[in-house]
Amino acid sequence: MLKGEGDIPSGLVDPAFRADVLAGLARRPRAIPARWFYDRRGSELFEAITELPEYYPTRTEIGILERIGAEVRDLVGEGRAVVEFGSGSSTKTPILLRAVAPSAYVPIDISGDFLRESSRVLAAQFPDLPVLPFEADFMRPLALPGAIGGSAKLGFFPGSTIGNMTPLAAIDLLRAMRASLAEGAMLLIGMDRIKDAAVLEPAYDDAAGVTAAFNLNLLARINRELDGTVPLDAFAHVARWNDDRARIEMHLAATRDVDFTVDGRPFAMATGETIHTENSHKYGPRDARILLRGGGWTPVAEWTDPAGLFAVILAEA
Ligand code: AVI
């Protein structure tokens, strides 16, 4: 859902993008939902982030998944239908599919183009596996494709994407997943752990400036798609740990007083004022378990890397 929205053909703008940007720039504090990062350029920049030396989550989670395959298979059994919330990752999804020998694989994503592309790649890798891409918004309970029939489901939600939601929205999503996957379901979910700000902040403000480019691309997208005049050189990328809320916040801060228009509407920002663009919540071991229980899931097993940076949790409905 969050990643991989394709570029909108010129002249066609997603009305929800326009509405979110105009409302977000008008409110105080100013804020634009992180889902709008992921146009084609933003998705490319996110891929580059996952390979940065400072950005530990992706490689750490992959290392955990590679290690736990046999244990996961013992706990979930073979022949479940794996339902992935998001288009699927070219690295993480095959690790899970090899481990649990599913009866079918159902990736769910709101962005049809990206979903079909990644499903084609996966189907080629697993020629005997029915791959059933499902274009839908998984934030709501869904009726899954009839073709997966009565098989029990294993939900897969890696990447700590749940961290990009507020705890309240995360609980709503977990409940929706439970309703979609139905009785007997299990869920394998990745959650990033709370750790020292000295590790967290560089992960979101890397030396090469890739995360800064990812954040600033939102303004470029606004200029391109919403006929904006936002001067990109008047904004700086800011990533800071909010200890009270246990989250990294990303902002775009005005480095000088600035006036611009978006879709013909005027906006003015004073030096230092920010647009809040993303939250990335981190969870301690107990916090993660409470969150899952709040969403209707009972934790069954939990794995971390040796440094305890990241957790992969298996839960049952
Ligand atoms: C997609 N999501 C889990 C990433 C995160 O770590 O919160 C998005 C991201 N933003 C900046 N770097 C990575």
Instruction: Dump pLDDT digits (tens) for 208-236.
Output: 999 999 999 999 999 999 999 999 999 99
Position 42 pLDDT exceeds 50: yes
CB of 104 within 8 A of CB of 128?
no
CA of 127 to the centre of ligand 1 (A): 32
Of all protein residues, the one whose alpha carbon is nearest to atom 4 of ligand 1 is 161
For the CA of 239, the nearest atom of ligand 1? 11
Residue 90's pLDDT band (cuts 50, 70, 90): confident
CB 81 within 8 A of CB 150: no
CA angle, corner 174, sides to 172 and 175, nearest 5?
A: 65
Residues near ligand 1 with C-beta < 6 Å? Answer: 2, 49, 57, 159-161, 163-164, 204, 211, 278, 280
Residue 99: name the closest of 68, 129, 125 by CA: 68
Supply the ipTM of this predicted assembly.
Answer: 0.99
Tokens 């750490």 sit on residue: 60
**Strand ranges in the chain using DSSP code E only, listed in sequence order:** 30-31, 81-85, 104-109, 134-135, 153-157, 186-192, 235-242, 247-254, 258-262, 265-269, 274-281, 298-304, 310-316
Q: How far, in Å, is the centroid of ligand 1 from the Cα of 298?
A: 26
pTM of the model: 0.95
Q: Cα 198 from chain centroid?
A: 23
Rounded to the nearest whole angstrom, what is the distance from the C-alpha of residue 266 to the centroid of ligand 1?
Answer: 30
Minimum CA distance residue for ligand 1 atom 10: 204
| Site to substitute for ligand 1 among 193, 278, 279, 310, most atoms within 8 A of C-beta | 278
